[in-house]
Amino acid sequence: MSQSSDLFKKSSQIIPGGVNSPVRAFKSVGSKPFFVKAARGSRVIDADGKEYVDYVGSWGPMILGHAHPEVVEAICRAAERGTSYGAPTETEFEMAKAITEAIPSIEMVRMVSSGTEAVMSAVRLARAFTGKNAILKFAGCYHGHADSFLSGSAGSGLATFGIPASPGVPSALAELTMTVPYNDLEAVRATIREYKDILACAVIEPVAGNMGVVLPKEGFLAQLREITAKNGILLVFDEVITGFRLHYGGYQDLAGIKPDLTCLGKIIGGGLPVGAFGGRRDIMKMLAPSGPVYQAGTLSGNPLAMSAGLATLNVLKREDGYRKLEEKTVLLCNEMGLIFREKGVQVKINRAGSMFTPFFGPGPGEIQDYDCAKLSDTGLFSRFFGGMLKNGVSLPPSQFEASFVSFAHSNQDFELTAGACRKAVSAISKRR
Ligand code: PLP
């Protein structure tokens, strides 16, 4: 038995499903996970010593690659000064300064310890500020596992009161969350027309990463901004993935849109647990202790997380490597696209900057919402995933996730990836 299989078996006895976050269990690709022993640059090494080119990147944070020397040094230095104080520090101020300078819509910011916490807190604030309780979200977007976001809709089109998407979510809360299809302005308009008096905010991933990569249609976010502003509904951008991923700042700067509140996470923690939410001063000032809205955290603004995040932001700002990162990703996607075409496997690759998803199967041309994404052939994806893994490439273990390219990925990594892709696709086409 391999070390990974043994560890998974033992872990499953005392950790539900053997993992501390569900998607890591490889269930949606019908296999079992490898356990990681170490990671460096673009590579991860499993418990059996096998090395993979890694496109998971810890689900987004590792834009510089794993164990970047400046990040590691910052963490070690911080640890020598103590790992947590429960008192404010200068690094928290520096982090707030870096974020507010990079993202103009964020006039004030509060640090938390996860993306879930960030969005959950932003929604509480939006409810308090507007005096309304309902929220609008978009099918296929993920905003963490807080109760309000584990709510689904019974149908598509005009959103109605949601239903719990997980046992344990009270229906009284799920009902307050309405869901419309991504990129569907008509559904947004109809829902807002009907429910503007109870809607506190609309929450959206400005580029979706959690149904696979799905881009906003031209003008969609701008219209959403206009409609929400006109109707007294706050607009919350969940940039937990896109913040500092597509350029130095938020996607909102590229799109030229100012949301009222923004949520961040992942990259700003350099691989340590982190989240942040911020926005308009008049809204943020409602937070305790300057205002009445309660929100708190023992490890919020943790000195190790702040140091790792600041070191990451410093490198990103200094190297200004986003254009190169995108160019690398374009080349990789083109190469993979060529291989799929050569072998006659129908795949549509969606890409934004350094994040991409190959959607498998005979779905319609453009994948612009969750309904389109769901038409993908997940069985075919699973076989592709398995083939890639066997040949030394680690992709996210689900059709509905984004792969991430980092500064550390090299031409050699891409050659290896193309080789693995060729073998994985040949194996798929033989079995069809
Ligand atoms: N928002 C988005 C867009 C995410 O992708 C995620 C996690 O992947 C979250 C929120 C939740 O963040 P966390 O897992 O840190 O709680």
pLDDT in tens, 323-337: 999 999 999 999 999
pLDDT value of position 429: 81
Share of the chain above pLDDT 70, in %: 98
Q: How confident is the model at residue 431 (pLDDT cuts 50, 70, 90)?
A: low
Which atom of ligand 1 is nearest the CA belonging to 242? 3
Residue 143 Cα to ligand 1 middle (Å): 5
Of 320 and 105, the structure prediction assigns the larger pLDDT to 105
Residue 170 Cα to ligand 1 middle (Å): 21
Q: How confident is the model at residue 161 (pLDDT cuts 50, 70, 90)?
A: confident
| pLDDT, mean of residues 26-54 | 97
| pLDDT, mean of residues 91-98 | 98
Residue 115 Cα to ligand 1 middle (Å): 5
Q: How confident is the model at residue 156 (pLDDT cuts 50, 70, 90)?
A: low
Determine the residue of 59, 62, 112, 116 to mutate for testing ligand 1's pocket, defined as the one with the most ligand atoms within 8 A of the Cβ atom.
116
pLDDT value of position 206: 98
pLDDT value of position 154: 60
Of 18 and 154, the structure prediction assigns the larger pLDDT to 18
pLDDT value of position 364: 60
| pLDDT, mean of residues 213-226 | 98
Asked if the model's pLDDT at residue 432 lies above 70, the reply is: no
* From 137, 258, 266, 328, the catalytic residue: 266
The per-residue b/e assignment along 128-157, b for 16 or more CB within 10 angstroms, e otherwise, is bbbebebbbbbbbbbbbbbbbbbbebeeee
pLDDT value of position 365: 75
Q: Is the pTM of this model over 0.75?
A: yes
Asked if the model's pLDDT at residue 231 lies above 90, the reply is: yes
Average pLDDT, the chain: 96
Integer Cα distance of 407 and 405 in angstroms: 7
Share of the chain above pLDDT 90, in %: 94
Q: Which of 319-328, 342-351, 356-365 has the lowest mean pLDDT?
A: 356-365
From residue 213, give the alpha-carbon distance in Å to each of 193, 303, 309, 348, 353.
29, 32, 24, 11, 10
Residue 117 Cα to ligand 1 middle (Å): 9
* From 52, 55, 142, 370, the catalytic residue: 142
pLDDT value of position 152: 84
Three-class HEC string of the chain: CCHHHHHHHHHHHHCHHHCCCHHHHCHHHCCCCCCEEEEEECEEEECCCCEEEECCHHHCCCCCCECCHHHHHHHHHHHHCCCCCCCCCHHHHHHHHHHHHHCCCCCEEEEECCHHHHHHHHHHHHHHHHCCCEEEEECCCCCCCCHHHCEECCCCCCCCCCEECCCCCCHHHHCCEEEECCCCHHHHHHHHHHHCCCEEEEEECCCECECECECCCCCHHHHHHHHHHHCCCEEEEECCCCCCCCCCCCHHHHHCCCCCEEEEEHHHHCCCCCEEEEECHHHHCCECCCCCECCCCCCCCCHHHHHHHHHHHHHHHHHCCHHHHHHHHHHHHHHHHHHHHHCCCCEEEEEECCEEEEEECCCCCCCCCHHHHCCCCHHHHHHHHHHHHHCCEECCCCCCCCEECCCCCCHHHHHHHHHHHHHHHHHHHHHC
Q: How confident is the model at residue 182 (pLDDT cuts 50, 70, 90)?
A: very high
Q: Whose CA is nearest to atom 5 of ligand 1?
A: 241
Q: How confident is the model at residue 273 (pLDDT cuts 50, 70, 90)?
A: very high
Q: How confident is the model at residue 226 (pLDDT cuts 50, 70, 90)?
A: very high
pLDDT value of position 320: 83
What confidence tens digit (pLDDT) does each residue in 406-427 have?
999 999 999 999 999 999 999 9
Q: How confident is the model at residue 344 (pLDDT cuts 50, 70, 90)?
A: very high
Residue 425 Cα to ligand 1 middle (Å): 31
Q: Whose CA is nearest to atom 1 of ligand 1?
A: 143
Q: Catalytic annotation on 253?
A: no
| pLDDT, mean of residues 296-300 | 98
The binding-site residues of ligand 1, defined as CB within 6 angstroms of any ligand atom, are 59, 114-116, 119, 142-144, 205, 209-210, 238, 240-241, 265, 275
Q: Catalytic annotation on 430?
A: no
Q: Catalytic annotation on 266?
A: yes
pLDDT value of position 378: 95
| pLDDT, mean of residues 60-87 | 98
